[in-house]
A and B are shown apart, each in its own frame.
Chain A
Amino acid sequence: MSLDPAIKRLTRQQMAWRAAQDIADGSYVNLGIGMPELVARYVPAGRHVTYHTENGLLGFGERPPEGQEDPDLVNAGKKPVTLLPGAALFHHADSFAMIRGGHLDLSILGAFQVAQNGDLANWQAGEDAIPAVGGAMDLVSGVKQVFVLTEHTTRDGQPKLVERCSYALTGAGVVTRVFTDLAVVDVIDRQFVVREIVDGLSLDALRALTGADLHEAGAPGLLKAA
């Protein structure tokens, strides 16, 4: 199924902005490598969010200016970051106690596939790739809420929101909300419930791009993109 060319998909920045609006003031948050990292830029002013990274740091800030990078001060993507006032450093077991012990409020991750029952597949695409899991399985099983930020379909048009994941799972029944470039979809009682859709796209057109049933709880709102 292809999309009416008049419909504007959200850009990666717009998707990150939309996800950022749902981060509560006072949250401890872990952002996955890639597009989720962009979310930090768009958290509304006045909300205080503390960012956690798997490699032993709570309370980090943006990349330092060129020339001031410290190879011993990086995030889980091995990119240079800075220490904000009030930051804390700790070893890996403490870092994953924060994750696995349910101390983090929210994790935002990418996905290969999300199933209607909340299953997430985001670590192994196919049989021949060299498997690499990192901290994804720990995050989805331990963090209080897991949001997914991903395009609605793959580059060749296959749906990423599906009835059942065909790729290896990262966690079973772990995702509560999905932000795509076309919609915001919740996982409720093992069903996808559409909350917001981009301007001009009908629910039926969205269904054609989705690999599972889409339900409504009242008319979906407009997916805004600042």
Chain B
Amino acid sequence: MKKPIFDPAGAVADIPDGASVMIGGFGGAGAPVELVHALLDQGARELTLVNNNAGNGGVGLAALIREGRVRKMICSFPRSSDSRAFQEAYLAGKIELELVPQGTLAERIRAGGAGIPAFFTRTSAGTPLAEGKEQREFDGQLYVMERWLKADFALVKAKRADPYGNLVYNKTARNFGPLMCMAAATAIVQVNEIVELGEIDPEIVVTPGIFVNRLVAVADPQQEERLVAQGAVYP
């Protein structure tokens, strides 16, 4: 099925206050800068965001936090070369943090997309991050129960899409993108180019189009780490 194509503003126009939004990227690699800035322009507040990190510099996710749009951050590593925006909000008690081990974060998102409400993992057993969670012994080892993670929206960056939303990514910019597309009710994907049907070999499709709801073409996307290096601030 053909997926609707939007500009960045149109793609995020219906994200309401209080929405949960997964944002792809590992640091700057895969960060959908144009979609995140469109979300900032759109004005939604009280957001719960899911990302590996918690923003860098004065652009993208960090700008959303700085502007007070984020109620809660679910991430594994809220530090970066310049994580001031998160740090200030966190220390001022203006943002809630749910810290999740990186593999557990990935698997919770995958589980959310795959209809698996909970799973058990060794990760965090015996540590403070397991406190308050159900633990169970399997074959003599202690495992921690983790719940699936779903979201209302995902903002993801890929390299190329066909009109059906089949995606390929660019190197390590793939990271959480395929998982977040699965786990969000509405997956919004920005790509460098939308090619004709049949131009992506089915053997190399990474995210099948069934997981994608909206496409946005951004021919020459901004790279978050370049903006951070320049000291850019959005808006």
Give the complex CA separation of A96 and B26 in angstroms.
Answer: 14
Give the complex CA separation of A46 and B228 in angstroms.
Answer: 40
Give the complex CA separation of A95 and B26 in angstroms.
Answer: 13
Query: Restricting to A120-159, which residues have a CB under 8 Å from any CB of B?
Result: 124, 130-138, 141-142
B residues contacting A by CB (< 8 A) are 26-30, 52, 76-81, 86-87, 90-91, 97, 99-104, 106-107, 109-110, 121-129, 169-179, 206, 223-226
Give the complex CA separation of A142 and B143 in angstroms.
Answer: 12
**Contact, CB under 8 Å: B29 / A71:** yes
Identify which of A91, A130, A134, A168 contacts B175 (C-beta below 8 A). Answer: A91
Chain A contact residue count (CB 8 A cutoff): 40
In the assembled complex, A214 has its CB within 8 A of some CB on chain B? no
**Contact, CB under 8 Å: A92 / B129:** no
A-B contact pairs, 6 of them (CB 8 A): A96-B103, A99-B103, A124-B128, A133-B101, A137-B101, A171-B127
**Contact, CB under 8 Å: B99 / A133:** yes
**Contact, CB under 8 Å: A92 / B176:** yes
Identify which of A124, A134, A171 contacts B102 (C-beta below 8 A). Answer: A134
**Contact, CB under 8 Å: A92 / B173:** no
Identify which of A83, A119, A134, A168 contacts B171 (C-beta below 8 A). Answer: A83
Give the complex CA separation of A78 and B97 in angstroms.
Answer: 22
Most-contacted residue by chain A among B29, B100, B176 (CB, 10 A): B29
Most-contacted residue by chain B among A91, A92, A141, A173 (CB, 10 A): A92
**Contact, CB under 8 Å: B128 / A168:** yes
In the assembled complex, A73 has its CB within 8 A of some CB on chain B? yes
Assuming the contacts A72-B172, A132-B76, asked whether A91 and B177 have C-beta atoms less than 8 A apart, the reply is yes
Note all chain B residues with C-beta closer than 8 A to A141: 121-125
Most-contacted residue by chain B among A70, A91, A169 (CB, 10 A): A91
Query: Restricting to A43-70, which residues have a CB under 8 Å from any CB of B?
Result: 53-57, 70
A residues contacting B by CB (< 8 A) are 53-57, 70-74, 78, 83, 89-93, 95-96, 99-100, 119, 124, 130-138, 141-142, 168-173
**Contact, CB under 8 Å: B106 / A72:** no
A57-B171, A130-B97 known; 6 other A-B pairs, CB under 8 Å? Answer: A55-B29, A55-B172, A72-B170, A99-B103, A100-B121, A137-B103
**Contact, CB under 8 Å: A91 / B79:** no
Identify which of B79, B110, B223 contacts A132 (C-beta below 8 A). Answer: B79
**Contact, CB under 8 Å: A138 / B29:** no
Identify which of A72, A95, A138 contacts B123 (C-beta below 8 A). Answer: A138
**Contact, CB under 8 Å: B28 / A78:** yes
Note all chain B residues with C-beta closer than 8 A to A56: 26, 172, 174-175
**Contact, CB under 8 Å: B171 / A135:** no
Identify which of B78, B107, B128, B171 contacts A72 (C-beta below 8 A). Answer: B171
**Contact, CB under 8 Å: A171 / B225:** no
**Contact, CB under 8 Å: A71 / B225:** yes
Identify which of B27, B87, B90, B175 contacts A92 (C-beta below 8 A). Answer: B175
Note all chain A residues with C-beta closer than 8 A to B52: 92
**Contact, CB under 8 Å: A133 / B179:** no
Give the complex CA separation of A70 and B106 in angstroms.
Answer: 24
**Contact, CB under 8 Å: A137 / B171:** no
Note all chain A residues with C-beta closer than 8 A to B123: 100, 137-138, 141-142
Give the complex CA separation of A135 and B28 in angstroms.
Answer: 17
Identify which of A89, A168, A173 contacts B174 (C-beta below 8 A). Answer: A89
Question: What's the least CB distance linking A10 to chain B, in Å?
Answer: 28
Assuming the contacts A78-B27, A96-B106, A142-B123, asked whether A73 and B171 have C-beta atoms less than 8 A apart, the reply is yes
Question: What's the least CB distance linking B223 to chain A, in Å?
Answer: 5
**Contact, CB under 8 Å: B122 / A133:** no
